Structures are given as structure tokens and as C-alpha cells.
Amino acid sequence: QLVESGGGLVQPGGSLRLSCKASGIIFSNYAMSWYRQAPGKQRELVARVTSSTHYADSVKGRFTISRDNVKSTVYLQMDSLKPEDTAVYYCNAQWWSYDYWGQGTQVTVSS
């Protein structure tokens, strides 16, 4: 089970930190990712962390993904937020054929 938290309403230029707590899996085995889906658009990969990190070009330099294997939690620190970052953000855990999703958390960037 993956449970996201930390979404909300923020002004442009502001920051938010998303968290995703995992349970029922061997967390350290899994690649952990954040995806997002804006209204009318396809779900897209935002960032992924394994032993290294990968970011979508649109968030490089603004977002930081990190994981705490002791707490079985992955984080997404989002800085310099823009209105185009508005979306539902989903946590994903993937290992071989095992693929789990959280329920999503809404992030709205608006003045």
C-alpha cells in the first residue's frame, strides 16, 4: 500500500513537499517514482529514484526526489512551483512485475 500526503494549494514560486509511505513491500527493492496527471492530459513521469535519480526536463533544478529506506518513504520536494505544475501527483513502486500506485494527492499552483 502506498499513501501520499502533502499536496495542497500554493502560490506560484512557492514550495511543497510530498511524502509517500509504503507498507507491505520490501521498500528497498523497489524503484520509487512520482508521476502526475493534469486534467485532459496523460499521466507523466516526474521523477524516479533507485540508487540514482532521474527527472523530467520540466522539473529539473526545481524538484528533488529522495527516499528513506528505514522509514519506507519517498519524498518529492517541489520548489519554484509554476501553474503548469498543477496536477494530481501519484506515487509508484516498481520491481520486476510488481507495480503499485497510490491514490494521488492534488497539487494546485495558483495565485
- Are the beta carbons of 31 and 50 closer than 8 angstroms? yes
Q: What is the DSSP letter of 40?
A: T
- 64 and 48 Cβ atoms separated by less than 8 Å: no
Position 56 scores a pLDDT of: 98
Question: So what's the pLDDT on residue 2?
Answer: 96
Mean pLDDT by 10 residues, the chain (111 residues): 96 98 94 97 97 96 97 98 98 97 97 94
**Structure confidence at residue 100 (pLDDT):** 97
C-alpha–C-alpha distance, residues 54 and 103, integer Å: 22
pLDDT of residue 69: 96
